[in-house]
Structure 1
Amino acid sequence: MMQNDSTRRGFLKTSTIAATGAALSSSVARTAHAAGSDEIRFVVVGCGGRGTGAAMQIMNTKGNTKLVAVADAFGDKAERSIKSLANKHKDKVDVPKERIFTGLDAYKQAIDVDCDLVVIATPPGFKPQQFEYAVNKGRHIFMEKPVAVDAPGVRRVLKSVEESKKKNLMVGIGLQRRHEPQYIETIDRIHNGAIGDVIAQRVYWNGNGIWYRPKTEGQSEMAFQCNNWYHFNWICGDQICEQHIHNLDVGCWVKGSYPVECNGMGGREMRMGGDATKSQIFDHTFCEYTFSDGTKMFSQGRHLGGSWTHVGEAVHGSKGTADPSGSITGPNAWKFSGQRLNGHQQEQHDLIEALMAGEIYNEGEYGAKSTFTAILGREACYSGKVIKWDQLLAEGKDLCPGIDEYTIDSDPPTMPGEDGKYPHPVPGKYNPFA
């Protein structure tokens, strides 16, 4: 993981945003695009905020990009996305009605379209099979985080990552801090000993809450849950996976490794006013991750209006401390003075520039392992037990069995009880292996 990341970071440091004509004429570059053209034809699977945002950011690059197909569970969402993109980049949108695909299996039709790059920005429960399909089709891929919700999903992604490497496919993952200069330089300094040995870390994603969309008349249970995917574990993975993964990823990046075990605690007292007919995920988690050298990473994740909000990381070393977003205190005190770039935009600048130049990098492994770090923490909080990385990865439960066969009218794996309430994990009773 660190070798791949170091190679990519070295490339980012020495490259520029505009690709040169010589790079475009390279043999590697010619294999990156259909029919030897410098046009990068891409499709979007998942037309929500991040899918639409990633498409817009791809179009904002200096690359000759064109959106040629979209897929989403809901047709109206796909159409709104296309309209929004065309309002700003009309010349880069070529999506006639016959290339707007809807339904839970629509990703196959979109990926089958003649294209170079696939953007996967669906709810994380669906990503493993979509990523696998895109790899099997030989597409370059940008996939939003997290990449799965459970151990079987992570194993499936890791297997596909190995196949993508054999095929020399670009795999970008939406952990955008890894593309932000302030993080890159600060963590390089930490790795070079600026704060001595890393002793402990604190990582936070404490926010106010999330959206909710009431069920409409005639809407199937599957459609309702897909439209409210953040509220259901099988499709979201909980807040620790969906948002807090960013901070956990930074902590693992700092260490250059992943935790071997975790214990945690959490609950769901305040989310949606405690109404279990609307949501099943926790509203707060606290984790103690342990790395193989015995050092700790302490994690807070929370959605609670009116409380302290903070998103960030802190690293404690034997010779000082660091904020990975751009500062160091102690004998080697330092503060980042360069330009702070928008990470979501920069990751697309880097991806498209590299693709045009034939510089293929693969972020799939750390995307999967950082996702699993979040899953490890979630299962520790749900169960109230110390959970080992190796055991959970090998034996962790499947939250969405048979997901490849789901349709918008299928019963989802989590159904409300007779009282209308959704089941939720109870620490001390929840079993992460059954």
Structure 2
Amino acid sequence: MPQRPEQNSTDRRSFLKNSSAVAAGAALSTSIAQTAHAAGSDEIKFVVVGIGGRGSGAAANIFESKGNVKLVAVADAFADKAESALKSLSRGKYKDKIDVPADRIFTGLDGYKAAIDVDCDLVVIATPPAFKPQQFEYAVNKGRHIFMEKPVASDAPGVKRVLASVEESKKKNLMVGIGLQRRHEPQYMETIARIHDGAIGDVVAQRVYWNGGGIWYRNRKPDANEMQFQVNNWYHFNWLCGDQICEQHIHNLDVGCWVKGDYPVECNGMGGREQRMGGDPTKSQIFDHTCCEYTFKDGTKMFSQGRHLAGSWQYVGEAVHGTKGTADPSGRIEGPNAWEFAGKRLNGHQQEQHDLIEALMRGEIYNEGEYGAKSTFTAILGREACYSGKIVKWDELMEKGRDLAPGIDNYSLDGEVPESARPDDEGKYPIPTPGKYSPFA
């Protein structure tokens, strides 16, 4: 079982007897559903917010766990995506684990509230990063256990909101799992434990990479307004996804911070757009390459590359340099204490759900929310350094960082997109220009 912060345990029978649906002013509880267990069942009822994409994968992983689980409601911005995902999941071996009638399929940008309000034990949040802070906050306020995909926000105000909700989740003793699945993979866990035990001496530098060839793009539908287009094509808009460094490269940055046991105090970066949509600013906002130099408070460095450039070197991984050797955190150490992981390599997406569901069934609680938020902010720090071309300090960005989507709680699919993503008269989206862009509000 992975070591995690804030893990608490209680008698399993007591845990299963109580309710996790905490009403305002009521006594706080650690348990899963009252109604299910009153009937003598160990069933865990869960809902998925953002079922149209990664949420479907998370649901399938939960179905594959050893728990007695039941999907009871879903929410997605788009009805066709929600219905298609449910149909796909129901077509095979999971159909007996799904109880989602038409009146428990919720749509629109505020549909998450109705889904979370359904009698359930666990909420899975797998929406674009911009929407996660308010959805996480709502689930915590409702007293639900939560699994939330990474990254957990797209800007500094969002991260601060998540951190505040994490503190509330700890007070309520709620389970909070975050989709940084390498922390559940035994090859990473054992290697990093050996690094922490001194196998390569003092860590002096790290290199982390997410270098790939490209990502999906969804063409504009003829009847879609700007908000609908952007939400459907969310990876290409900074307010929604936070750029590639947040959406994908966060995994490697998280590993680097895990190795270090700390977070950087500043970042210097550079980046731009060489191939993204042929350089067409009417289709996408985000960069296709970033390169960062992170500095920790002891002066050590973490060097980062993230890119989507076809025809270039493609590699996803990490390297750690110490005073007595080097390490690949995914399972190898070189030097006087040479070692290689010999155990079974597990699928992290599946293992994180095994761990979460089995912990709930044992009456244990762990909370990954803080490192989920801080690793997200590490990625945001790097993005803002690359966008601005300046050295950006952690504390200053946390205090004064841009709000990319002011008033996001009130957004709707029929409304306007935020100014940070509003096209000009020629249909061109705002593109950050290093040397001119400011990371601060």
Match of 1:27 in 2: 14
Matching of residues 49-198 of structure 1 within 5 Å: 49-87=53-91, 88-198=93-203
Partners of 2:33 and 2:319 in 1: CA distance: 45
Q: Alpha carbons of 1:134 and 1:68: their partners in 2 closer, same or farther (altered >3 Å)? A: same
Larger helix proportion of the pair: 1
- Alignment correspondent of 2:22: none
Report if the CA contact (8 A) 1:143-1:172 is conserved: yes
Q: Aligned partners of 1:299 and 1:287: how far apart in 2? A: 5
Letter of the 1:410 partner, please give it. G
Q: 1:425 aligns with which of 425, 429, 432?
A: 432
| CA distance in structure 2 between the partners assigned to 1:333 and 1:7 by the alignment | 33
Aligned-partner Cα distance in 2 for 1:101–1:49? 15
Which amino acid letter does the alignment assign opposite residue 34 of structure 1?
A: A
Deviations 1:2-46 (CA, angstroms, capped at 9, x unpaired) = x973676x99xxxxxxxxxx964x212333221234100000000
1:427 Cα offset (Å): 0.2
What letter is aligned with 2:294? Y
Residue 256 of structure 1, aligned match among 254, 261, 265:
261
1:72/1:104 contact within 8 Å kept: yes
Runs of 4+ in 1 over 4 A off after TM superposition: none
- The aligned counterpart of 2:319 is 314
Secondary structure at the aligned position of 2:4 is classed as helix
Cα deviation for residue 48 of structure 1 reads 2.8
How many Å separate the matches in 2 of 1:417 and 1:91? 50
2-structure distance, mates of 1:134, 1:67: 16
**Does the 8 Å CA contact 2:6/2:367 hold for their aligned counterparts?**
no
Letter of the structure 2 residue corresponding to residue 292 of structure 1: K
Aligned length: 420
Q: Which residue of 2 aligns with 1:15?
A: none
Q: For 2:53 and 2:102, how far apart are their aligned partners in 1?
A: 21
Matches within 5 A, 1:218-367: 218-367=223-372
1:269 CA drift (Å): 2.1
- Percent identity among equivalent residues? 77
Q: Give the whole-Å Cα distance in 2 for the aligned partners of 1:355 and 1:322.
A: 34
Counterpart secondary structure, 1:308 = coil
Q: TM-score, normalised by structure 1?
A: 0.95
Q: Structure 1 CA distance, aligned partners of 2:145 and 2:159?
A: 19
Of 125-134 and 30-39, deviating more is 30-39
1:416 matches 2:423: yes
Counterpart CA distance in 2 for 1:127 and 1:134 is 10
Over residues 118-145 of structure 1, what are the superposed CA-to-partner deviations in whole Å (9 max), with x where a residue is unaligned? Answer: 0000000000000000000000000000
After superposition, what is the alpha-carbon deviation per residue over 1:59-115, rounded to whole angstroms, capped at 9, x for unaligned? 001100000000000001001111111123011000000000000000000000000
Paired with 1:68 and 1:334, the residues of 2 have a C-alpha distance of 46
- Partner residue, 1:19: none
Gaps of at least 5 residues in structure 1 are 12-21
Measured in 2, the distance between the counterparts of 1:38 and 1:6 equals 26
- TM-score scaled to structure 2, two decimals? 0.93
Q: Which amino acid aligns with 2:435?
A: G
Alpha-carbon distance between aligned partners in 1 of 2:16 and 2:360, rounded to the nearest angstrom: 7
